[in-house]
Structure 1
Amino acid sequence: NNVGVLNMCGHGTIGLAVTLAHLGRIRPGNHLIETPVGNITATLHDHHRVTITNVASYRYRAGVELDLGQEGRICGDVAWGGNWFFLAKDHAERIAYDNIPRLTAVTVAIRTALMRQGITGADGGEIDHVELFGPANDGADARNFVLCPGGAYDRSPCGTGTSAKLACLMADGQLQAGQTWRQQSIVGSIFEARGEWQGERVIPHITGTAHVNAESTLLFDLADPFCMGIQG
C-alpha cells in the first residue's frame, strides 16, 4: 500500500508464501500467519499456487445509496473482508484496463461521498476500499476494479475484496457454500474463491498464484538523511 499498512492483504499473503518457499523457509502445506486483523492460514500447493483461508467476512449494510454530485447516484453494499469495502455492480462504467483513469475518478468520488455522508463500517471503521464489478472474460464470474486507500488500483483480483464479495453473494443466496467463484482483476489475473458459513459470517478460501521476479539487496546508510524514506 502506498500510504501505510493494510489490515490484511490477500495477494500479499500469497506472494509471501511463494517467496518463503523460494527461500527454502517453508514447504507445501498449511502455514499460520498473523495479521493485524487476526490469524489466517496460507496453504502452499505446487506450481506457485497458494490458498489463503481469510478472516471471517460479512456484509455490514446492503443497498447503501450515495450522492456523487455530477456523477449521479450509486447504490452498493458495505462489507468486511479484512478491510472495509464499498462494493457496487449496478453502475454505468466499463470495467476494462483502458478505462482505468475513468474508473479511478468514479471510485474516488464514491469514497469522497462515503466520507461526506458519514458512512462507515462497524465501530466507525473507515471504508477505504471501493470495488466496482462488471462482466468478465476468460470464463470468470466477474471482473473488478478496486481502488486502494492511496488512490492506486489493485492489479490483483483483491483477496480481501473477493472475501467481501463472497459474503455479499452468499448473504443474497447467489452463491452456495463451497461453490467456486472465479474473480478476474482489471489486468486479467484470476482468483478462485469459495466460502463456508461460520454462524452468520463467511470464511473465505482464496486461491491464486505468485512468482518471484527478483532477489535484491537493500542498503541503509545512516549517513543518508533519507535512508528511511522521504516524509513530508
Structure 2
Amino acid sequence: ENVPSFRSAKDVRVEVDGVGPLTGDVAWGGNWFFLTSTHEYELTLDRVEELSEFAWRIRQALQRQGITGKNGAEIDHIELIGPARSSNADARNFVLCPGRAYDRSPCGTGTSAKLACLIADGKLKPGEVWRQESIVGTVFEASGRLVGDRVVPRITGTAYITAEATLILNPDDPFRTGIRP
C-alpha cells in the first residue's frame, strides 16, 4: 500500500508559455502532481524530448502563477495522461520528475494521485482496478480503499534491480551521514 492520497484541487487552469491555457488536477500520491489530459500530444517514447519540454513548461507556469499543493507545497511532478496503447491498460501516462527526468514506470506515486482523482470524480469505485500504462508500455495495476477522505492505494507491477551499491561509513569521518547546516 502507498500513502493516503487525495486531490486538493480540480480543474485548475494554468497559462503555459507557447501553449496557452490548460486545465488539470492537483493531487498528492506521495509527491505533489499536476495531472492533465488537456493536451494534444501522443504519449510515445519517440516523443520523450518534446513531452519533457512541454511538461517542464507546465511546471514553470505553475511556479510563476503560484499554483501549489496543500500548504504551499511545490508541485514537482507533472503527469500527462492519454489513451492507453495496450488493451490491458485504462490509460497511458508520461511523468516528468524533479531534475527534468522522466519516469520509465507508470509511476507509483503518480498512479496513486490519479487513483485519488478517479475515485473523487466517481469514475472509479473503491476496490475497482485501474491499470496505468507507462511511456514505455509497462503497466501498474491499482485499486484503492477509502480511509476518511483519503484513498489508500494498493499498486502491483514489475520492478527490476538496476544497481547495487555498498556504502562505507567511516566512523572517523565527521560527515559520514552528510553535511547538515
* SS of corresponding position for 2:74: coil
Change (3 A) 1:212 1:119: closer
| Superposed CA offset, 1:3-58 (max 9, x none) | xxxxxxxxxxxxxxxxxxxxxxxxxxxxxxxxxxxxxxxxxxxxxxxxxx011100
* SS of corresponding position for 1:133: strand
Equivalent residue in structure 1 for 2:124, among 158, 175, 181: 175
* SS of corresponding position for 1:162: helix
Q: C-alpha separation between the residues in 1 aligned to 2:134 and 2:79?
A: 11
Q: Which amino acid aligns with 1:67?
A: E
Tell me what 2:68 maps to. Answer: 120
Q: C-alpha separation between the residues in 1 aligned to 2:34 and 2:163?
A: 34
Residue 202 in 1 paired to residue 151 in 2? yes
Q: C-alpha separation between the residues in 2 aligned to 1:212 and 1:122?
A: 33
Tell me what 1:157 maps to. Answer: 106
Tell me what 1:99 maps to. Answer: 47
* SS of corresponding position for 1:163: helix
TM-score, normalised with respect to structure 2:
0.89
Q: Tell me how far 1:208 sits from its aligned partner.
A: 1.2
Tell me what 1:56 maps to. Answer: 4
Q: C-alpha separation between the residues in 2 aligned to 1:213 and 1:105?
A: 26
Mind listing any 5+ residue stretches in structure 2 that lack a counterpart?
171-181
Q: Tell me how far 1:116 sits from its aligned partner.
A: 0.3
Identity of aligned residues (%): 59
Change (3 A) 1:214 1:185: same
Q: Which amino acid aligns with 1:149?
A: P
Q: Which amino acid aligns with 2:154?
A: H
Superposition CA RMSD, Å = 2.0
Q: C-alpha separation between the residues in 2 aligned to 1:54 and 1:153?
A: 20
Q: Which amino acid aligns with 1:78?
A: V
Mind listing any 5+ residue stretches in structure 1 that lack a counterpart?
1-52, 222-232
* SS of corresponding position for 1:85: strand
